[in-house]
C-alpha cells in the first residue's frame, strides 16, 4: 500500500508540532518525518526525535549526496527532509515542514496531501509564541511577520485543506477526519482479489 503523505505547514507557534505528534501517536503504522536542521536544539528537543541536529558542513555533504527530497533555508537555518521518509513502509507519513518544502514534495509526489494549520488570529499566535518562551522579543516579531507572509503563500500555493487550531481537540478531530477520508480515496487500499477488481 502506498503511504499517505500528509504535509502539515503552519506559521511557527500555531501548534502543528503538537498536532503532528498526536496524529502519529494515534495511528499505528504512522511515521513522523524527522528533518535534518542546522539550527541548535530548543528547550527539551531531542536529537533524532524532534530533528536530526547537524553542522552546516554535514548538511552540505548530505545535499551533495542527494540525501534530501527537499531542503530550504528558514529563519537563517537549513532544514531538509530525508528521502528515507518517503521510501518508508509506513501507512501514513506526517511532514512538519514549511510551505516551500510542501510545494517541493507535492511537485515530486502529486498524491501528497497538504494541510495548512492556521491560528485563530494573529494576536493568539503572538500569545502562544510568547507563552512557549523559547524565542526572544526580536525572534517573536520576526516570526509574526513571517506568519502573515507564509499564510498568504500557502493559500496561493493551493494547499488542499485549511485547519484552524483554536481548540486543540477540535483541530485534531479535523486532521483525523482528513486522514480517514484520504484513506478511503479510490485506489488507496488494496481490495480482496476475489472481488475481481484490477
Binding interface with ligand ADP (CB under 6 A): 10, 12-18, 128, 131-132, 165, 167-168
Shortest distance (Å) from residue 147 CB to ligand 5GP: 10
Shortest distance (Å) from residue 33 CB to ligand ADP: 14
At CA 32, angle to CA 162 and CA 66, rounded to 5? 100
One-character DSSP codes across 112-175 = -EEEEEE-S-HHHHHHHHHHHT-S-HHHHHHHHHHHHHHHHHHHHTT-SEEEE-SSHHHHHHHH
Q: Which of 20, 96, 125, 171 binds ligand 5GP (CB under 6 A)?
A: 96
Residues 28-67, one symbol each (x = binds ligand 5GP by CB under 6 A, - = not), give -------x---x----------------------------
The beta strands (E) that lie in 12-111 are given as: 30-32, 36-37, 52-53, 68-74, 77-82, 92-96
Q: Does 3 bind ligand 5GP (CB under 6 A)?
A: no
Stretch that binds ligand 5GP, among 91-99, 155-163, 166-174, 185-193 (CB under 6 A): 91-99
Amino acid at each position: 500500500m502506498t503511504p499517505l503523505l500528509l504535509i502539515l505547514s503552519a506559521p511557527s507557534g500555531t501548534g502543528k508540532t503538537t498536532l503532528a505528534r498526536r496524529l502519529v501517536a494515534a495511528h499505528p503504522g504512522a511515521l513522523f518525518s524527522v528533518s535534518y536542521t542546522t539550527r541548535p536544539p530548543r528547550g527539551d528537543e531531542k536529537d533524532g526525535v524532534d530533528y536530526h541536529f547537524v553542522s552546516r558542513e554535514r548538511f552540505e555533504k548530505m545535499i551533495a549526496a542527494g540525501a534530501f527530497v527537499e531542503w530550504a533555508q528558514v529563519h537563517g537555518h537549513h532544514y531538509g527532509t530525508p528521502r528515507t521518509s518517503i521510501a518508508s513502509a509506513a501507512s501514513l507519513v506526517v511532514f512538519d515542514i514549511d510551505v516551500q518544502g510542501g510545494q517541493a514534495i507535492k511537485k515530486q509526489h502529486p498524491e501528497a496531501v497538504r494541510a495548512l494549520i492556521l491560528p485563530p488570529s494573529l494576536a493568539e499566535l503572538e500569545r502562544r509564541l510568547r507563552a512557549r518562551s523559547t524565542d526572544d522579543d526580536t525572534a517573536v516579531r520576526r516570526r509574526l511577520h513571517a506568519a502573515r507572509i507564509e499564510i498568504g503563500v500557502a493559500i496561493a500555493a493551493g494547499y488542499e485543506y485549511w485547519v484552524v487550531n483554536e481548540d486543540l481537540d477540535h483541530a485534531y478531530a479535523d486532521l483525523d477526519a482528513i486522514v480517514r477520508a484520504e484513506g478511503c480515496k479510490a485506489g488507496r487500499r488494496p481490495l480482496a482479489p476475489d472481488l475481481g477488481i484490477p
